[in-house]
């Protein structure tokens, strides 16, 4: 059919490929390996799955990049990339929304019900499940530990990651994490503006600064976790507070690491292969969208996990 007579754009259809099947098998190894690791059956299969997944994704993306550099992408195909990245970020919003929702439910409903408030049936929950429970946030022990009485490892009010006084502000790691991540959001924007101005040198500089800040954040969070485990006794098993704290900040830290690798890949493409122009740079734009999303999630974490 003549595309000129119909008014439709040509849509590039790639040749047959076995990559999707290989990727599905790699994900199977990864899933089974993760289950084995959780069950204590070893981590060999998990590491094999991780290597297979990362290798397959790297090769698959390299194929997509070569197709783009060859001029095979049409405006219609580029639009599908935009929608695909938008839906991916939306799925990540729902992912973190579930964890923030759990934190909201615990603090708003569960704490008060265990403390005896609410309807009669819910008020009795505290007497049945945790008779000596005090309705204060954060709870640092579990019901089982509360039954041990004096034998329990008590957790004091200072054994959490909140800011306890203005005097400790200078050594409060979450503040430095926030400054680093918000600064990186500005630098990636500067890089975007430089690319639109077709200034590759300035683009590489600001993108390089962003990548450095990303990994500085990961290092600072590792130090924060060391402080929590070694000096505060705050672990995943430290009541519901420890669980929600490490789940939210841990998954966010993983996203920061992934985003840093994403941005570092774009920096390598620019410095090593002269990819991207002022008009064609969706790879970088997708990475910058993801990075801004990570920054917004951290602002919510800083507010709801560290401040309120």
pLDDT tens by residue, 40-86: 888 899 999 999 999 999 999 999 899 888 888 888 888 899 999 99
- C-alpha atoms less than 13 angstroms from C-alpha of 159 in its C-beta half-sphere: 18
Q: Does residue 118 or residue 158 have the better pLDDT?
A: 118
Mean pLDDT (whole number) for 91-117: 87
For 282, the domain range is 73-307
Torsion of CA 286, 289, 290, 294, to 10 degrees: 170
pLDDT-above-70 percentage for the chain: 83
Say if 7 falls within a structural domain. no
Report pLDDT for 150: 46
Report pLDDT for 146: 57
Say if 206 falls within a structural domain. yes
Say if 63 falls within a structural domain. yes
120 and 101 belong to one structural domain: yes
Residue 157: which pLDDT band, with cuts at 50, 70 and 90?
Answer: very low
159 and 220 belong to one structural domain: yes
109 and 236 belong to one structural domain: yes
53 and 88 belong to one structural domain: no
Report pLDDT for 238: 79
> Between the CA of residue 282 and those of 69, 193, 203, 264, 268, what are the distances in Å?
12, 14, 14, 15, 15
Query: In the predicted model, is pLDDT for residue 154 greater than 50?
Result: no
Query: In the predicted model, is pLDDT for residue 147 greater than 60?
Result: no
Q: Do the Cβ atoms of 214 and 256 come closer than 8 Å?
A: yes
47 and 63 belong to one structural domain: yes
Residue 198: which pLDDT band, with cuts at 50, 70 and 90?
Answer: very high
Report d(CA 87, CA 151) in Å as an integer: 50
Residue 138: which pLDDT band, with cuts at 50, 70 and 90?
Answer: confident
Mean pLDDT (whole number) for 254-276: 94
Say if 264 falls within a structural domain. yes
244 and 291 belong to one structural domain: yes
Say if 6 falls within a structural domain. no
200 and 228 belong to one structural domain: yes
Angle, CA 157 vertex, CA 120 and CA 126 arms, to 5°: 15
Mean pLDDT (whole number) for 207-214: 97
Q: Residue 45 sits in a domain of what CATH number?
A: 1.10.287.70
Report d(CA 177, CA 253) in Å as an integer: 11
174-207 burial string, b = 16+ CB within 10 Å, else e?
bebbbebbebbbebbebbbebbeeeebeebbebb
Query: In the predicted model, is pLDDT for residue 151 greater than 50?
Result: no
132 and 214 belong to one structural domain: yes
Say if 104 falls within a structural domain. yes
Give pTM, 2 decimals.
0.85
Report d(CA 141, CA 2) in Å as an integer: 71
154 and 223 belong to one structural domain: yes
- Average pLDDT of every residue of the chain: 85
Q: Do the Cβ atoms of 50 and 113 come closer than 8 Å?
A: no
Residue 102: which pLDDT band, with cuts at 50, 70 and 90?
Answer: very high
User: In sequence order, which residues have a C-beta less than 8 Å from that of residue 6 and are 6 or more positions away?
Assistant: none
Report d(CA 167, CA 150) in Å as an integer: 32
Report d(CA 98, CA 80) in Å as an integer: 27
Report d(CA 266, CA 219) in Å as an integer: 21
Would you give the end-to-end CA distance of the chain in angstroms?
62
Report d(CA 60, CA 73) in Å as an integer: 16
Mean pLDDT (whole number) for 253-261: 94
Residue with tokens 């985003």: 259
Say if 64 falls within a structural domain. yes
- C-alpha atoms less than 13 angstroms from C-alpha of 301 in its C-beta half-sphere: 24
Query: In the predicted model, is pLDDT for residue 197 greater than 50?
Result: yes
Residue with tokens 């991780």: 50
Q: Residue 250 sits in a domain of what CATH number?
A: 1.20.120.80
Q: Which class for 288: exposed (0-12), middle (13-18), buried (19 or more C-beta within 10 A)?
A: buried
108 and 156 belong to one structural domain: yes
37 and 123 belong to one structural domain: no
144 and 242 belong to one structural domain: yes
Please confirm whether the linkage preceding 89 is cis (ω < 30° from 0): no
- The domain total for the chain is 2
Report pLDDT for 39: 87
């Amino acid at each position: 059919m003549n595309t000129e007579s119909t008014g439709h754009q040509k849509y590039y259809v790639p040749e047959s490929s076995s990559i999707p099947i290989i990727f599905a098998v790699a994900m199977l190894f990864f899933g089974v390996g993760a289950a084995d690791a959780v069950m204590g059956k070893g981590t060999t299969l998990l590491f094999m799955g991780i290597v297979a997944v990362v290798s397959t994704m790297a090769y698959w993306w390299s194929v997509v990049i070569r197709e783009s550099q060859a001029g095979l992408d049409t405006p219609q195909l580029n639009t599908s990339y935009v929608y695909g990245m938008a839906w991916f970020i939306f799925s990540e919003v729902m992912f973190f929304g579930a964890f923030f929702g759990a934190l909201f439910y615990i603090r708003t409903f569960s704490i008060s019900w265990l403390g005896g408030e609410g309807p009669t049936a819910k008020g009795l929950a505290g007497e049945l499940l945790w008779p000596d429970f005090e309705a204060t946030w954060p709870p640092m022990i579990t019901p089982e530990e509360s039954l041990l009485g004096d034998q329990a490892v008590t957790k004091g009010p200072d054994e959490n990651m909140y800011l306890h006084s203005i005097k400790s502000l200078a050594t409060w790691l979450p503040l430095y994490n926030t400054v680093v991540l918000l600064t990186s959001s500005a630098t990636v924007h500067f890089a975007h503006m430089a690319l639109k101005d077709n200034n590759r040198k300035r683009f590489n500089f600001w993108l390089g600064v962003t990548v450095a800040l990303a990994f500085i954040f990961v290092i600072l969070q590792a130090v924060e976790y060391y402080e929590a485990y070694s000096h505060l006794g705050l672990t995943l098993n430290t009541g519901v507070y420890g669980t929600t704290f490490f789940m939210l900040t841990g998954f966010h830290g993983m996203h920061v690491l992934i985003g840093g690798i994403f941005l570092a890949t774009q920096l390598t493409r620019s410095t090593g292969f002269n990819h991207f122009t002022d008009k064609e740079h969706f790879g970088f734009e997708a990475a910058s969208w993801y990075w801004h999303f990570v920054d917004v999630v951290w602002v919510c974490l800083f507010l709801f996990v560290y401040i309120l």
